[in-house]
Amino acid sequence: MEAQWIHDRAMLRSLMRQYPQWSNSQSAQATGRSVSWVKKWEKRLNQAPLDDMQVLLSHSRAHHAPYHRWDRQVIQRLGEMREHPPEHLQRVPGPKALVYYLQRDPDLQALGVPVPRSSRTVWKLLRKLGYILPHELRQHQPLEPRDPLEEVQLDFKDATTVPADPSGEGKRQHVIEVCNFVDAGTSILLAAQAHDAFREETAFEAVLTFLRTYGRPRMLTFDRDTRWVGSRSGRDFPSPLVRFLISLEIIPNICPPHRPDKNAYVERYHRTYKQECLLLHRPGTLEEVRTVTEQFLHHYHEERPRSGASLWQSSPACSLSRPASAFPTA
């Protein structure tokens, strides 16, 4: 790489001698470099003798000027403020608060020494003193593979292409939603039910329809949507759906807040469904959503290339044709 750079700089110096009337744009076009690069190196080459080869070498990007060394008493006072917050501050002061208090400290003002004025500088000093520890590298562990129908993940997907009711009397958001059931063992979409009024009762019915078709999975995974887990006040906790699943010996795996990665398979399907179906066909009514969804299910199972880590059989649609009697029933 350095040899190529030296070649380009030597070419620029040769062009400067042969065509002194050229503009920076012409030199940049001839060397294949930017105009700013030509300006920088023309200035360096003009300041050096014509036979100087050292000028063609790259300059070191290391920090040439010595770094500023803060007074020992400033460092000591910084540590004292961190351990013993000044002026009855009822919390551990952060870098911004320490910048404020350092500038007001009477002892440092009497000494006349400079104090940090940047929270970034204070942060570096705190880390050097050991008050801020470096973050530990997170070790990412792959998810344990699941058997087919061991875990089924479900969630709602909003059909955003459906417009709201222009009269203003109907729903303004989530006009049409699709409840999707994805098998975590094979990444296969097992069911997709579109509805214009998914409430707690209709969501319960969607789960019942799925169970009648596929039987009892070992676990159902869903987020903390109130239609699954009940009201936020907890008056109906556990919710009817959770009590129903427990009575059938199905584990209700409720994801913690703000953790869509715990429901990763259905969330990943939602991205595919949105990009390759909803935004492509742009359905505007409930019937259109059901139609394009049904067509997409055939494409998703039979035609679309799959990249799942584990498949039940050679064809992903084989699992969909397995009868419900093959699974444990309630």
In this structure, the strands spanning 219-222 and 189-195 are: unpaired
Cβ–Cβ contacts within 10 Å for residue 77, how many? 21
Phi, then psi, of 219 in degrees rounded to 5: -145, 140
Show me where the domains of the chain are located: 2-56, 72-129, 151-326
Amino acid at 64: H
Please identify which residue in the block is written with the tokens 């019942």.
Answer: 208
Q: What pTM was computed for the model?
A: 0.57
Q: How far apart are CA 147 and CA 71, in angstroms?
A: 64
DSSP string, 249-302: T-EEEEPPTT-GGGGHHHHHHHHHHIIIIIHHH---SHHHHHHHHHHHHHIIII
Domain 151-326 has CATH 3.30.420.10: yes
For residues 274-295, average pLDDT:
94
**pLDDT-wise least confident of 71-80, 121-130, 186-195, 317-326:** 317-326
Task: Report the pLDDT averaged over residues 240-269.
Answer: 93
Convert 187-219 to b/e letters by CB count within 10 Å (16 or more is b): bbbbbbbbbbebebeebbebbeebbeebbbbeb
Burial 95-109 (b: 16+ CB within 10 A, else e): bebbbebbeebeebe
Residues 21, 14 contacting (CB under 8 angstroms): no
AA letter at 168:
G
Tell which residue, 79, 120, 124, has the closest CA to residue 102: 79
Query: What's the number of CA atoms in the CB half-sphere (13 Å) around residue 92?
Result: 6
Instruction: Tell me what the mean pLDDT of segment 262-273 comes to.
Output: 94
Strand partners, 222: 254
Interval 303-323 mean pLDDT: 52
Average pLDDT, the chain: 87
What does the pLDDT look like over 19-70, one tens digit per residue?
A: 999 999 999 999 999 999 999 999 999 999 888 888 899 888 888 888 889 9
Residue 220 phi, psi dihedral angles, 5° rounding: -115, 125
